[in-house]
Structure 1
Amino acid sequence: MKRNLLSRALSRALFVAVLAPVSFTAVADDGGDPAPDPKQLDAVVVQADIAYRNRTDAVAPVLSYDLEYFQRFEPLTVGDMLKRVPSVAFVSDVLEYDGAQLRGLDPGYTQILINGKKVPGAGNDRSFFVDRIPAELVERIEIVRSASANRSGDAVAGALNIVLRDAYEFDGSYVRGGVMHFDDGKYKNTYGAVSSGEVGGGRLLGGFNVQGRYNPKVKRSDRFDEPGGDFVDREDQADTRDGTDYSANVSYTHDIGSGRLSLDGFYVRTDRDETEHSLEYNDPTSSSRDNLLSVNDQFENIKQDNWSFGANYEFDMLGGRTELDLDYARFDDDTMATEEETGYDDEDTPPSFDGREGTRTLSDISDDELGFKAAHKRELGNAKVEFGVDYLDKQRDTGLQIAEVESDDEDVALPAYEDFEGMASRIDETRIDPYLMFSGASGALAWEAGLRYETTDVDVRADDTAASNDYSTVLPSAHLKWDLTADDRISLSLARTVRRPNFDQILPLTLEEEFGDNDFVGNPLLEPERAWGLDLGYERRLGQRGVFGVNAFYRDIQDLIETVNTGEPSSTALGDFEDEVEEFLDENPGANENTPGYPQFDPDSFVYTARNVGDGYVYGIEFDLSTPLTVLGLPDTGVFVNYSWLDSSVDDEFGERRFNNQARYVYNVGFIQNLPDWGVSFGASYRRQGDAYSRIVSEEVTTTYEGDLEVFVEKRFGDRMSVRLTGSNLLDASKDEAFNKFDNAADQIDRDFDEYELERETAGPVYQLIARYSF
């Protein structure tokens, strides 16, 4: 009943806004005017000047960075670009930048948009891997620090909007080609082209990019019975990721009557092999066969397709501007993973053959999203009003098949993988989200206030089990921008946001030994996490091109989804008890439950589930500076600095901790020196983030990264060609992890370790030579 009342109230507000008298014919800044002269693409090829962060006029706090801000360091992907912006951290393998963590929070707290629209991704936490989008397709990156009513509220940490190049903004053509050299001597090629111009009375842009991807890493793990305890074993591992990404985007705009039709689409294909070869020894230094415990080989073949198509039409209507938007996006993942291990018995000297086993897993994920938006903007007195409704239909299908084989003969290969056991699941979500937003300006003050009402209906099917749920949330937001002077600005934002449950958290499936000896069962009735957020920022223009900013933020997150104990014994506990009873009966024929010494069932591992329990808060302060040193008489020297200090607090069954995997800090510092008379530029960038800590049932992990140094040298030839040599990971950065592992929660509380592991992962430098030519 409450949901219906809220819906009716908002609908009436929208109705009143439609009928309100107006005194103008079109909103001037909504895209209805004639197109300005498009930006020439050859400016992307030959950058005569150093690019700095944009200073936007948006009322909501937005940081905007054009591609030129990043391009001299030749980023391969959007993930590489985000390394240089404030507050974005990653907890990934070395040289991998996939799940962006804005404000250091898990990727599921950050909304990833492409051209302002949601897109499906691979992660169970609804995250989108930003390393799937090549940098060459991008026009700019926007960090949206606080939510507004006309955008989806799935942005507790904020939103990252990846704006692709479009025909309306660009004109011209260029080609790109180059080669990358890796630490193990391997080379990979990259090439692509972009072209834009007038076609059929409108403007058309098309581009494609082929990017070789390669990452050879080396890992070493040392395991002990506890911290500071006895050595158990050592594992040496070579881990190589080898593949190619194929991508293309197209954009077409055409003015029709008082409106503008825009069509856009992109496609990204990832074809990647991941190969791991591990050797385990019972000695901390020896690599002799006499100390060999196991040989493990893992191979994954990953094929992913990400594509999207959108149609947008904006036109004059009823004294205002109306927008109709239709979007379809799809993500497909087809992965075959094989793990085979040969074990040796450590009780013999040297260890003797103890068997060979293998597991093959076939996973198939398809995620479809169909969206429609209808919105209207108009003046209302001295203010502007925007109202509309967003509709989203999402379907996520997952198929999983597993086959296991084994052999006890050292000279016989493993049998073929034929006997697969499978499971399938489907998640359907339907969202209808009306919103109403007002904005205006008076002198030095500009403001925006809105209300969004998000409704979600969820249907879940897993094998023979089905469940349904629905929930709704009212999301108010308000923003204030105060221009103290022509150069100084203060912004204040308050917004409510949500984070919907992870897909694996709502599937009604039982996963055995998911956390040590503990099982996990999904909860289809989970509600989303809800958060109130506050941002307070100050920004100052430095000269003509420089900008300095500082922003403090706070998030109060309620209805946190945490893993909790159901009290039901795990499959491991039940199995151990059955074995104990069987052993007792073998030793005591004819005994029963009343026989003295008969085993008593006292489980020490359980079935866990996810529930909305407790609250948490996140806070921090963010600095950024990008400016030429004109005040020092060095107008051709640009410096770039950003630093974010991050903290949080949440309680779990073991006590207080930060949000999992939140780095204490993340910063980037760099410079670019332009020598215009020589047509040469060079520069360097250094990045580092603080330790990240994660605690779940049966495992605690501390992750530490070393710093990453990048440099470039560029030579320009006239106004049509440039050549750049870049080097990344020049300090051979490492990722170090310390794992505290336990069998169950009771052991974790008592610090009774199952294993303590120290792992170090390293990779070598990568060099790129890239040339561009415009025509």
Structure 2
Amino acid sequence: MTLSLLLGAAAAPMILAAPAAAQSFAVQAFAAEDPSGPSTALEEVIVTGEPAMRNRTDDVVPTLSYDLEYFQRFEPLTVGDALKRVPSVTFLSDVLESDGVRLRGLDPGYTQVLIDGERVPGAGLDRSFFVDRIPAELIERVEVVRSSSANRSGDALAGAVNIVLRDALSLDGGYVRLGALNWSDSEYGRWGGTYGAVWGGQVGPGRLLVGANIQDRRNPKNKFSQRFDAPGGTLENVEVQTDVRDGADYSFNAAYSVDVGPGALELSGAFVRTDRYQDEDSLEYRNGVQSDANLLTVNDNDLDIRTDNLALRGRYAFDMAGGRTRIKLGYASINDDQYEFEAESEYLRDAVAYPDEDRFTLDSTRVNIEDAEISGAVEHERGLAGGATLEFGVQWNRKDRDTLIQETPRIRFNVPNAPAPRPAVPAFGAFASVPGGEGTIEETRIDPYVMLSGETGAVKWETGLRYESTRTTITDLTAAAADRVTETDHGFLLPSASLRWRLSETDRIIVSVARTVRRPDFDRLQPALLEEEFGDSDFIGDPKLKPESAWGVDVGFERRLGRRGVVGLNAFYRDVTDLIEAVNTGAVGSGGAGTFVYTVDNVGDGRVWGLEFDLSTPLDALGMADTGVFLNASWLDSEVDDFMGTRRFNDQSDYVFNTGFTHDIPAWGAAFGATYRKQGDAFSRVLAEEVRTSYGADLEVFVEKRIASNIVVRLTGSNLLNASKDEVFDKFDSVADQTARAHDEYELETEDAGPWYQLVMRVAF
């Protein structure tokens, strides 16, 4: 009934609106379609001259916008590298990795990642999209949207990151990017390359933009682990590990814009392929003594990854019924193929030390995830009497996700008492699907919305209502026939309202209130029994899980500093209900007495809050117009009750701090700068395991020189402080042991990767 009423409300204004209303409709409908004009290729390449600042947007919803020029001098390889300089963005990745963006420190599933304002599927079980899959060369700007609007998907409890790609109207001319990369994991380093080209201009009746990019990627990490029987207890073993991730990213994008009939047609597409090989090798030693006589295991764990991301968009906007109508169609997909094997040789299972092998184990796994979304929308915007604007429409999305996770039978030889000697190259058996590893998830969403906006004196405002209805069908092909298919329906009414109050020519206050949702992780929905998933206890998913929902408020103050500077302070709060947490079914687990089968359910509530400060300004007031500085700091906190008491949301860092500067020397055609970043500690508590994570500080610098009117050369250095990631693991056999603090294992792990350097030349033409 609610859906029918809202659809009716969305359609009624189009039917009843009088032509006279159109006369008061200034050309404000879909204002983003009327850009000021493309920048030249020379402007894209040569940014020497004045510091690049954060944009001060005109949006009513609190939004931070950063053009590529803000990041470009540090030559980020990926969108993830760029986002490291943005307020309230944290990562819980390995050193030199920036994949799952954690806005306000929350799990990536709480952050909505958009490309050109549209949802994109990700390979992650939490529905998140890895932003390090998008090369920075594709983007025009990055927007951090702190609250929600009725015309955007409500899957943004923490906020949204909108990656705006270059379009056909953004560039006039072209440029080439050539570079060399050096990583410090050998005496003279390892070398790679980065190559790209972009061109935009008039083609036929419209404008075309095309770009291509190839860049090598490498992350050479060293890890060291110490394992004790308990905190402060006996050192049982140490592990020395190298973890080298080597690969390349390939990308191509194109966009075409042309007037067709009474309207404007925009077509765009982007393809990104990530090829990566991860080679982990480790040696484990008894009692921490690193000698052949104490060698416990030799492990070789390799993972081959190929991920393809494709996004195709079409949009046609035209005048209709006294307003402006837009029709959108889109297709986005991700295809993630992985093959992994792990070979382990064990020693000291008897009294004979290395090189006599006691046991050899070999495992092999392959994973294929195909996730495709087809989307469409019909949206209309029109002016109303009194200067207000009405926007309404219906957005539709169909997701099809196929998962295939298979393993071969484990190969294990006990040496020397095996039935036969271990072959040099053991033969794997046939692949078979693991429990819960083969199935499909189909989701169909129909989301109508209606939104009013306007300006009254010094106040600009927006209010709206969105209804999201989702039908989900889960098919688990590894389950019994009677349990294979589960269907659920959920509907959420999502109100939102924002206002921007101009206090003076320099000061303004922005307030926003919205309701948002977070949909369950895919693995939490599948009713597959996973043995010994939590210590010695089992786990089974619940396909009837409801999404989490939250009411949130943002209150911010912003001041313009001089011509281009800006400083802001924002406070936020989220009240989360139907929080998804693990619960005990009471059933005895596969391990027998003392073990249980756990599942998940919508239990309890949670709260998230924090303060966000950001400053971006040239130092004009100090007579240093050629120097720009930025500083942002976020204090983050939360509270949730779990099976042991109160904690923060898992893995939320308690703060993140960024600062940096750029300085131009116009007389020399040169510039230099640096950024410094520090992320606070994070804590996670799940069944049978607790993890505390901390990171060292990250320092990056650049030096650039303009060597011709159309050529600039930049040298950048990253991770110059050789920041480490340090983790403390408390591991238990059961929740009872966890409560009693009876450890199964206590582990300290640290990893580092060393600095890396990049020399890049950009040539405009």
The question of a shared fold, defined as TM-score above 0.5 by the shorter chain, is answered with yes
1:36 to partner: Cα distance: 4.1
- Is the counterpart of residue 23 in structure 1 residue 28 in structure 2? no
Is the 8 Å Cα contact of residues 45 and 710 (structure 2) preserved in structure 1?
yes
State the shift of 1:29 in Å.
2.8
Question: Mind listing any 5+ residue stretches in structure 2 that lack a counterpart?
Answer: 417-421
Q: Is the 8 A contact 2:276 2:306 kept in 1?
A: yes
What is the aligned partner in structure 1 of residue 419 from structure 2?
Answer: none
CA distance in 2, matches of 1:270, 1:27: 45
- Is contact 2:29-2:382 (8 Å) kept? no
CA distance in 2, matches of 1:515, 1:379: 57
> SS of 2:511's equivalent?
strand
- In the alignment, structure 1 residue 262 sits paired with structure 2 residue 266: yes
| Aligned equivalents of 1:643, 1:31: Cα separation in 2 | 33
Structure 2 length normalisation: TM-score? 0.95
Which residue of 2 is the match for residue 576 of structure 1? none
Shift in Å, 1:27: 5.1
> Which residue type is aligned with residue 394 of structure 1?
K
CA RMSD of aligned residues (A): 1.3
| Contact 1:27–1:321 (8 Å) recurs in 2 | no
Q: Deviations over 1:529-550 (max 9, x none)?
A: 0000000000000000100011
Aligned AA for 1:356? F
Cα displacement (A) at 1:379: 1.0
Whole-Å separation in 1 of the counterparts to 2:34 and 2:543: 50
Q: Are positions 1:722 and 2:712 aligned together?
A: yes
Which of the residues 438, 444, 447 maps onto 1:433?
447
Residue from 543, 550, 573 that aligns with 1:531: 550
Query: Within 5 Å, which residues of 2 pair with 1:426-575?
Result: 426-463=440-477, 464=481, 465-573=484-592
Measure the CA separation in 1 of the matches of 2:467 and 2:562. 42
**Partners of 1:88 and 1:101 within 8 A in 2:** yes
| Corresponding letter in the other structure for 1:519 | D
1:375 aligned residue: 379
2:12 aligned counterpart, secondary structure: helix
Amino acid at match of 1:546: G
Aligned counterparts of 2:88 and 2:527: Cα–Cα separation in 1: 35
Alpha-carbon distance in structure 2 between the residues aligned to 1:348 and 1:756: 26
Q: CA deviation at 1:35?
A: 6.2
Q: Any gaps of 5 or more consecutive residues in structure 1?
A: 574-602
**Is contact 2:22–2:384 with CA below 8 Å preserved after alignment?**
no
Aligned match for 2:328, one of 322, 325, 328: 325
Match of 1:421 in 2: 432
Q: Which residue does 1:384 correspond to in 2?
A: 389
**Deviation string, structure 1 residues 492-549 (Cα, Å, up to 9, x no partner):** 0000000001111101111111111111111100000000000000000000010001
Partner of 1:610: 600
Q: Describe the superposition over 1:335-380 as per-residue Cα deviations: whole angstroms up to 9, x where unpaired.
A: 0000111111355253653210111001110001000000000012
Whole-angstrom distance in 1 between the partners of 2:679 and 2:43: 33
Q: 1:283 and 1:254 mapped to 2: Cα distance?
A: 70
- The equivalent position to 1:396 in structure 2, one of 385, 396, 401, is 401
Q: Is the 8 A contact 1:260 1:315 kept in 2?
A: yes
* Cα distance in 1 for residues equivalent to 2:425 and 2:759: 44
Residue 747 of structure 1 pairs with residue 748 of structure 2: no
TM-score normalized by structure 1? 0.94
Q: How does 1:136-535 map to 2 (within 5 A)?
A: 136-184=137-185, 185-284=189-288, 286-346=289-349, 348=351, 350=353, 353-382=357-386, 383-403=388-408, 404-409=410-415, 412-413=423-424, 415-422=426-433, 423-463=437-477, 464=481, 465-535=484-554
Q: Which string of whole-angstrom CA distances, capped at 9 and with x for unpartnered residues, describes residues 249-276 of structure 1?
A: 1110001233110000000001100000
Whole-angstrom distance in 2 between the partners of 1:303 and 1:717: 39
Does 2:622 align with 1:632?
Answer: yes
Deviations 1:658-689 (A, max 9, x none): 00000000010101111011001000100010
Contact 2:731 2:743 (8 Å CA) reproduced? yes
| 3-state SS of paired residue (1:24) | helix
Do the aligned residues in 1 keep the contact of 2:29 with 2:323 (CA within 8 Å)? no
CA distance in 2, matches of 1:130, 1:54: 21
Q: Would you say the 8 A contact 1:237–1:276 is kept in 2?
A: yes
Task: Determine if contact 2:295/2:348 at 8 Å carries over to the other structure.
Answer: no
1:431-489 deviation digits (Å, cap 9, x = unpaired):
00000000000111010000000000000001141111011000000001001011101
Equivalent runs, 1:11-160 vs 2, <5 Å: 11-18=7-14, 19-21=16-18, 22-24=20-22, 28-30=27-29, 36-47=36-47, 48-160=49-161
Q: How far apart are the structure 1 equivalents of 2:500 and 2:219? A: 45
Partner-residue secondary structure (3-state), 2:357? strand
Is the 1:167–1:204 Cα contact (8 Å) retained in structure 2?
yes
State the Cα distance separating 1:24 from its structure 2 match. Answer: 2.2
- Offset from partner CA, 1:572-597 (integer Å, 9 cap, x none): 22xxxxxxxxxxxxxxxxxxxxxxxx
What is the CA-CA distance between 1:694 and the residue it aligns to? 0.4
Q: CA deviation at 1:635?
A: 0.4
* Count of aligned residue pairs for this structure pair: 741
Q: Which amino acid aligns with 1:269?
A: R
CA shift for structure 1 position 86: 0.1
Distance, in Å, in 2 between the alignment partners of 1:618 and 1:347 is 53
Cα drift, residue 407 of structure 1: 2.0
Amino acid at match of 2:569: V
Partners of 1:349 and 1:226 in 2: CA distance:
28
Letter in 2 for 1:550: L
In 1, Cα distance between equivalents of 2:13 and 2:537: 55
Query: Is the Cα contact below 8 Å between 1:460 and 1:524 reproduced in 2?
Result: yes
- What's the secondary structure of 1:23's corresponding residue? helix
Determine the C-alpha separation between the residues in 2 that align with 1:10 and 1:454. Answer: 11
Question: What are the superposed Cα offsets for residues 677-736 of structure 1, whole Å, 9 maximum, x if unpaired?
Answer: 100100010001000000000000000000000000000123311000000000111000
Q: Is the 8 A contact 1:27 1:320 kept in 2?
A: no
Query: How far is 1:90 from its partner?
Result: 0.3
Q: Is the 8 A contact 1:357 1:414 kept in 2?
A: no
1:735 to 725, 734, 740: 725
State the AA in 2 paired with 1:765.
P
For 1:144, the aligned partner's letter is: V
Instruction: Tell whether the 8 Å contact from 1:405 to 1:414 is kept in structure 2 after alignment.
Output: no
CA distance in 1, matches of 2:728, 2:286: 19
